[in-house]
Amino acid sequence: MQRIGQGYDIHRLVEGRPLRLGCVEVPSERGALGHSDGDAAAHAVCDALLGAAALGDMGAFFPSSDERWRGADSRIFLREVATRLAAAGATVVNVDVTIVIERPRLAPHLPAMRAAIAEALGSDVGRVSVKAKSADSIGALGAWQAVEAHAIALIDMR
């Protein structure tokens, strides 16, 4: 059976934090505030995959109240989600994520993000798509106050 899942995440952007998106550190004067590394793209992918398998969400598996996840590299979350999906008899068909951030321009970093997400999931880079948009100066996203990510995932589940 093929099953679909959707994931969403948003993090506030502040000065003095690294900007990590899709498991890649992107040079930027502002980075995401978060308990872990604040990687909205990785978190949206995790939630899309967990949602497809009806396994819950990141908050249940990796609560921000748990000190283990402070500053955690989100590749850990992707690996753990992939392990839980495999245990549930699921394989990843494909994942597609869109990152919304006013700046910097992410296009040069997208191939590295695809490769890093695929590697963390134990999947093929051809099954992972990462896209980016600016917020066209609209609202909090347009004011460079936040970064947002939307993901969708398809899985095969026995």
The site for Mg ion (CB under 5 A) is made up of 9, 43
From CA 63, how far away is CA 56, in angstroms rounded?
12
The nearer residue to Mg ion, 32 or 90, going by C-beta atoms, is 32
Taking the complex as a whole, the smallest distance from the CB of residue 156 to Mg ion amounts, in Å, to 26
Q: Which residue's CB comes closest to Mg ion?
A: 43
Taking the complex as a whole, the smallest distance from the CB of residue 35 to Mg ion amounts, in Å, to 8
| 63 upstream amide cis, omega within 30 of 0 | no
The nearer residue to Mg ion, 67 or 126, going by C-beta atoms, is 67
CA distances from residue 80 to 1, 85, 151 in whole angstroms, order as listed: 22, 9, 18
The nearer residue to Mg ion, 74 or 123, going by C-beta atoms, is 74
From CA 152, how far away is CA 95, in angstroms rounded?
6
From CA 98, how far away is CA 151, in angstroms rounded?
6
Taking the complex as a whole, the smallest distance from the CB of residue 89 to Mg ion amounts, in Å, to 27
Taking the complex as a whole, the smallest distance from the CB of residue 110 to Mg ion amounts, in Å, to 20
The nearer residue to Mg ion, 43 or 109, going by C-beta atoms, is 43
Q: Are strands 90-100 and 146-157 parallel, antiparallel or unpaired?
A: antiparallel
